[in-house]
Amino acid sequence: MATTPLHVIIIGAGTGGMCLAHGLKRAGISVAVYERDRTRTAGLHGYRVGIDPHGSRALKACLPPDLYETFVATCARDPKYFVFLDEHLKPTITIPLREGLDEVDSEKSVSRMTLRQVLFTGMEDHIHFGKTFTHYERREDGKVTAFFEDGSSAVGDVLVAADGANSRVRKQYLPHAQVEDARIISITAKVPLTEESKALLPKGLFPGIGLVVAPKGYSCILHWMEFPWDREGGLKNNIGGNDADLLANWPGLLFDNTRDYINWGFWASTDKFPADVMQRGGKELIQLALEMTPNWSPELRKLFSMGDPTTCFPINIRTSVPIEPWPSSNITLLGDAIHTMTPGQGVGANTALRDAHAIVRALTAVRDGHKPLVQAIHDYEGKMIDYGFKAVLESKKQTSGDQPIHKPYVGRLALAGMRGYLRLADRVPAMKRKMADDIYRYRGGEDED
Ligand SMILES: Cc1cc2nc3c(=O)[nH]c(=O)nc-3n(C[C@H](O)[C@H](O)[C@H](O)COP(=O)(O)OP(=O)(O)OC[C@H]3O[C@@H](n4cnc5c(N)ncnc54)[C@H](O)[C@@H]3O)c2cc1C
């Protein structure tokens, strides 16, 4: 069988770009990644990310098997419940998450910096740090040249934009594609997990995910992140067998900046925040969260006040405006570069991973002579545009400043209706089961690409 040699250049070494790079390397396709961060530990890329079955499936298919095992071993303890609470920390419904699933089908919590280090492992010869992409040019021989701020350039048969929500590749390639403000601002911080911080939250919340939904559309997510290693970086007692070996010998762990923590994220519609919120520092942001929640549970407010100011930052949530398919070429996009979404469904990174896996399959078919390049990219884009923008719209439905819950009067009715429904569902097993099934159906638990 005739094979077509390809060299793929990827802009951005984020979740999607690195999963793609691993997948191509594993398939024997030449790949180079260009990342603007200067080193593998640079940049603040957030704290926790939830990996669903779509994401795990893509990672399993693309990473070398031992690195996939390292990814699993470095996840925080699996969440066992999803709990909705009111602002007094009273649960309205506790949805048990499925247990005993194999590692691909389970829901995982991972520290972003740790996942980033896992994805960089073994790729040292393929990543070029300190390369900020500026623009590309098409060459007469059909190849594409990418240019960087330092004056250097790189040539590839295929250019993949994996450069996130502000993608410069997208701005040049699809200038009509817009990313708009979702009119939500979030403040997030980490609190070290200690007996004191743990005692502030209801027992039934751990190990789980808590979502506080309060009047005025104010909300707060609580993630409990408990890792297999202790504060000094030593392995905890209950770790043994393969996991112990993996963690003890994995070089990426040296770069990890994570210890057990609770991550809180408070958000509301933009109009509820002072105009200069995005310019405020950690201490002021924590103070602001306290000022905005005077009637909330004293324990939860105490948890806010215990946020480490150096870990506290604001996020202005944005969302892509879906666009019609475009004529395909040897330039394509994945992840936030094409479908930035609000964190409403928690699937942005998972969709980026799903894209990466799909591009690996498409380019493998080209390499093996089964499809012409542009046809393979067209087929990938057809599916990606469909599931990617569906996820954008679903996520926007869950988290956007336009939801009724943020409106002055309607908001109260919407909150009362929602709480009534959740309390009823908590008492009716069939309703509760359906809510759990819906979570898994949406998060890739029951379908295959
Ligand atoms: C508060 C919050 C919570 C979230 N929680 C979840 C969750 O639980 N689950 C989930 O699935 N998703 C979640 N997401 C979404 C998720 O973080 C993103 O969708 C995901 O990181 C996108 O991956 P990506 O590879 O497309 O882009 P990124 O991971 O953003 O990577 C882009 C990379 O490109 C680099 N880059 C940018 N510009 C250039 C340039 N010009 N030149 C070179 N390099 C460049 C960046 O430095 C970065 O390394 C959340 C998002 C937010 C805001």
Q: Is any atom of ligand 1 closer than 6 Å to the C-beta of 11?
A: yes
CATH architecture of the region 7-442: 3-Layer(bba) Sandwich (3.50)
What residue spans define the domains of the chain?
Answer: 7-442
**Are 282 and 314 in contact, with CB atoms under 8 Å apart?**
no
Which residue lies with its CA nearest to atom 14 of ligand 1?
348
- Express each pLDDT in 290-320 by its tens digit: 999 999 999 999 999 999 999 999 999 999 9
Q: Is any atom of ligand 1 closer than 6 Å to the C-beta of 347?
A: yes
In order of 60, 205, 214, 251, 351, the CA distances from 104 in angstroms are 8, 24, 34, 24, 15
Q: Which helix (H) or strand (E) holds 420?
A: helix 410-427
Which one, of 64, 84, 71, lies nearest residue 117 by Cα?
71
Which one, of 351, 165, 347, 197, lies nearest residue 263 by Cα?
197
Q: Is any atom of ligand 1 closer than 6 Å to the C-beta of 315?
A: yes
Residue 253 scores a pLDDT above 70: no
- pLDDT tier for residue 196 given thresholds of 50, 70 and 90: very high
φ, ψ of residue 72 in degrees (nearest 5): -65, -45
Q: Residues 6 or more apart from 234 whose CB is under 8 A from it?
A: none
The residue with tokens 């080193």 is: 39
- Express each pLDDT in 114-126 by its tens digit: 899 889 999 999 9
Q: Which amino acid is at 10?
A: I
Q: Is any atom of ligand 1 closer than 6 Å to the C-beta of 12?
A: yes
pTM: 0.93
Q: How far is the CA of 449 from the centre of ligand 1 (A)?
A: 22
SS3 376: helix
CA dihedral of 380, 382, 384, 388, whole degrees rounded to 10: 170
Q: How far is the CA of 410 from the centre of ligand 1 (A)?
A: 34
DSSP annotation string for 242-303: HHHHHHHH-GGGGG----SEEEEEEEEEGGGS-TTGGG--HHHHHHHHHHH-TTS-HHHHHH
- Express each pLDDT in 339-395 by its tens digit: 999 999 889 999 999 999 999 999 999 999 999 999 999 999 999 999 999 999 999
- pLDDT tier for residue 101 given thresholds of 50, 70 and 90: low
How far apart are alpha carbons 384 and 359 in whole angstroms? Answer: 10
- pLDDT tier for residue 47 given thresholds of 50, 70 and 90: confident
Q: How far is the CA of 349 from the centre of ligand 1 (A)?
A: 7
Q: Which helix (H) or strand (E) holds 92?
A: strand 91-96
pLDDT of residue 77: 86
- pLDDT tier for residue 51 given thresholds of 50, 70 and 90: very high
The residue with tokens 């202790």 is: 230
Residue 26 scores a pLDDT above 60: yes
Mean per-residue pLDDT over the chain, rounded = 90
How far apart are alpha carbons 206 and 228 in whole angstroms? Answer: 16
CB-facing half-sphere around the CA of 283: CA atoms within 13 A? 0
> What is the strand order of the sheet 208-213 is part of?
91-96, 81-85, 208-213, 219-225, 261-269, 179-192, 313-320
φ, ψ of residue 254 in degrees (nearest 5): -60, -25
Q: Is any atom of ligand 1 closer than 6 Å to the C-beta of 13?
A: yes
Residue 239 scores a pLDDT above 60: no
